Amino acid sequence: MESELKIIRHLSVESLNEEIRELEQVCKTVNRLHLIRQVYRTNDIVESCEILDIPLRTGHDWVKKWNEKGIEGLRHKKGAGRPSYLSKEKLEKLDNWMKQEEYLVTNDVYLHIKDNFDVDYSLKQVRRIIKKLDYTWVKPYPIADEQIENAEELLKEDTKSIDPDNDIYGLMDEVAVQNTPNVGRIIKKKDPNLK
């Protein structure tokens, strides 16, 4: 019999994610230092890269950074990598446009970015941008505005003529029988109270 394991939440999810990111950066620095130590031992960068299974080009890059700045050259720089095609101002414009739209799907956002910012992202990257802007996908279910007050009485009246021994009967909700709702997901801003 399994017992329920309870966990103490010492950190919020956001703080935990930040700790993980910081430690991952430390691990990257440690891996780079392993290469430097191996080059110290062998005095041969090709052999050191082969031993540690590191691409030679990457090894040369790390040694060059080590020679220029020492350990600081090997530390991960925040914001390193290719800059985004969409600046903060363009992301704000996109966010404002998305707030004004009632029903959006990923392809709508893709086309808006392509037409207005002249950037041709993949749909996968567009989904990342949507998440970055704190949106999520929801299924819009219609809510009946008008409900018949005496629905149960009408159902009882309609079913009086059914003979349960001889008749086959069933209820249909829509024109065609469906085992899943035929509803597409749309994009909506996340509710900050649900975190």
Could you tell me where the DSSP H helices lie in 43-122?
Answer: 45-52, 56-69, 71-74, 88-100, 106-117
Tokens 């808006």 belong to 112
Beta-strand ranges (E) seen in 104-154 are 135-138
State the pLDDT at residue 89: 94
pLDDT score of 6: 83
pLDDT band at residue 192, thresholds of 50, 70 and 90?
A: low
Task: Compute the 3-state secondary structure of the chain and give helix, strand, coil in percent, each to the nearest 5.
Answer: 55, 5, 45
- pTM, rounded to two decimals: 0.48
Where does the pLDDT of residue 103 fall: very low under 50, low under 70, confident under 90, or very high at 90 and above? confident
- Does pLDDT of 2 surpass 90? no
Amino acid identity of residue 142, one-letter, is P
Is 167:125 a contact under the CB 8 Å cutoff?
Answer: no
CATH of 84-143+181-195, one of 1.20.120, 1.10.3470, 1.20.1630, 1.10.10: 1.10.10
pLDDT tens-digit readout, 107-150? 999 999 999 999 999 999 999 999 999 898 888 776 666 777 88
What is the residue whose two structure tokens read 């018949």? 148
**Model confidence at 95: pLDDT above 90:** yes
DSSP state of 133: T
Residue 179 has a pLDDT of 61
10-22 pLDDT, tens digit each = 888 888 888 988 8
Element (H, E) at 188: strand 186-189
Listed by start position, the domains of the chain span 13-74, 84-143+181-195
Name the residue type at position 94: L
